[in-house]
Amino acid sequence: MAVTGDETAATGDMPAYQIRTPTTTLPQGVVMAASPGTLHSPQQMAEEATRKRELRLLKNREAAKECRRRKKEYIKCLESRVAVLEVQNKKLIQELETLKDICSSKTD
DNA sequence: ACGCCCCCGCGTCAGTCAAC
DNA sequence: GTTGACTGACGCGGGGGCGT
């Protein structure tokens, strides 16, 4: 089989594109937050909240892109597997017909 | 040229899950 | 309980095909 066949190997009921691998890398240019103990004024708190939100959106944006890429790959993989199985099915049907012919000619 | 429809990719939100 | 990663769902905008 040309397909990897690992879509159910690791997690049972989870599609391959859903298998979660830990990612700790941040997008370029992202700076981690200052520790909460260093914050003082309400303005600083608000700026920190805004910065955190922007960071979260940025990361989620990247995660969504990656998620869609994996999903497309997964679907592509399934489609090629379908193609392989269809060819295999045709061959088996053909073989069955041949065997039927042989059997019927013998009983005649 | 124009409107309409369909498809695709994107950004965002909300919910879930696992790790801590 | 909190946090971060992941993903389904939703809405939006752009591009292409098609009929008028």
A74 lies in a domain? yes
User: In the prediction, which pLDDT does A41 show?
Assistant: 81
Question: CA-to-C1' distance for A72 and B4, Å?
Answer: 29
User: In the prediction, which pLDDT does A65 show?
Assistant: 95
A96 lies in a domain? no
pTM of the predicted model as reported, rounded to 2 decimal places: 0.71
Task: Give chain C positions with protein CB within 7 A.
Answer: 5-9
Per the CB < 8 A criterion, the answer to whether A7 and A65 are in contact is no
Task: Give chain B positions with protein CB within 7 A.
Answer: 9-14, 18
Q: Report how many domains make up chain A.
A: 1
Taking chain A (108 residues) in consecutive chunks of 10 residues, what is each chunk's mean pLDDT? 32 51 44 49 83 93 95 93 95 98 87
- Side chain identity, residue A25: T
A17 lies in a domain? yes
Question: CA-to-C1' distance for A36 and C2, Å?
Answer: 15
User: In the prediction, which pLDDT does A27 show?
Assistant: 42
A65 lies in a domain? yes
Footprint of strand C on the protein (CB under 7 A): A 15, 17-24, 59-60, 63-64, 66-67, 70-71
Find the domain containing A17 and state its range.
2-81
